A = this chain, B = another copy of it.
């Protein structure tokens, strides 16, 4: 930065003007995860982006999972996980740890980080105001307290946005039986974005985006129409860990979100760069 002069500063701001105009008063949901949530300096960059976007009149909603910190905590309390067909069985004790890490650690650190940067943040979870309801995930073998979202009520999120807060949301869900359920954070973000009528859903990942050749970052596909997805899966271009990410983008777009972007959380300020330049980075699903 030191070699950017004041007139350049002005030019950059003026250059950003049409993008700010484009997103003014629009709702943007950021699914926050991966390296950008673990690496402290990347985390600081994302949080600063959130405060900036909120300040220029964009309605920012942060949705997060718990990432490796849940695994770490389970290990610390010596909890042995049982796996069912490769999926972790969530018993009550595990759910307790999930809750504590999600809503008591990750969520509060994000809120405090935003507040320290001058943002006004409000930590919420899927239980507040009955925001997310789920039922027991119906698969052949029981997975315990793993939930399938049955309804999303974004009233508490809109209440917070309406009062000028940046809502930061930990994705647990309440069950019909009063129990608390573990749900997939990407799916929750897609459903919340749709229910909010969001303009955009950003999925922060540890990849450049969707690559035609997964070993060559220069083969990035910048734009995908959701109708092309089945074909891309057939061709093996969408595969492995990318499948649930893409599914989540497709879900969001199908339910009315204008676009969903898989972007690289390893690049500092990737959200700002994506929103404030014409080229963009990562892959956008329309």
Contacts and interface: CB of A to CB of B under 8 A. Distances in A.
Interface of A: 1, 4, 6-18, 20-21, 24, 45, 48-49, 51-52, 55-57, 73, 76-78, 96, 99-105, 107-109, 111-113, 115-118, 120-125, 127-130, 156, 159, 163, 165, 172, 174, 178, 180, 267-269, 272-273, 276-277, 279, 281
A20 B52 contact: yes
A55 B17 contact: yes
A115 to B, nearest CB: 5
Interface of chain A: mostly helix, strand, loop or mixed: helix
Contacts of A130: 115, 120
21 contacts: A4-B11, A7-B269, A9-B272, A9-B276, A10-B272, A11-B269, A13-B16, A13-B52, A14-B49, A17-B51, A17-B117, A21-B51, A73-B100, A100-B101, A104-B105, A111-B128, A112-B180, A113-B178, A115-B129, A116-B178, A122-B129
Contacts of A4: 4, 8, 11-12
Nearest to A123: B128
Contact of A121 (B129, B163, B180): B129
B6 A1 contact: no
Nearest to A267: B7
A14 B4 CA distance: 13
Task: Kindly list the 7 A-B residue pairs having the minimum CB-CB distance in the complex, ordered from nearest.
Answer: A104-B104, A10-B269, A100-B104, A100-B100, A12-B12, A116-B178, A103-B104
Contacts of A108: 99, 103, 125, 127, 172, 180
A6 B280 CA distance: 9
A93 to B, nearest CB: 10
B122 A14 contact: no
Contact of A48 (B17, B77, B96, B111): B17
Contacts of A52: 13-14, 16-17, 20
Given A115-B127, A178-B113, A272 B14 contact: yes
Given A13-B276, A16-B13, A130-B120, A24 B55 contact: yes
A282 to B, nearest CB: 12
Nearest to A276: B9
A24 B14 CA distance: 18
Given A13-B272, A100-B100, A123-B127, 20 more contacts: A4-B4, A9-B277, A10-B272, A10-B273, A10-B276, A11-B269, A12-B12, A12-B13, A20-B56, A21-B51, A21-B118, A73-B77, A77-B77, A103-B103, A109-B180, A112-B174, A121-B127, A122-B124, A122-B128, A123-B125
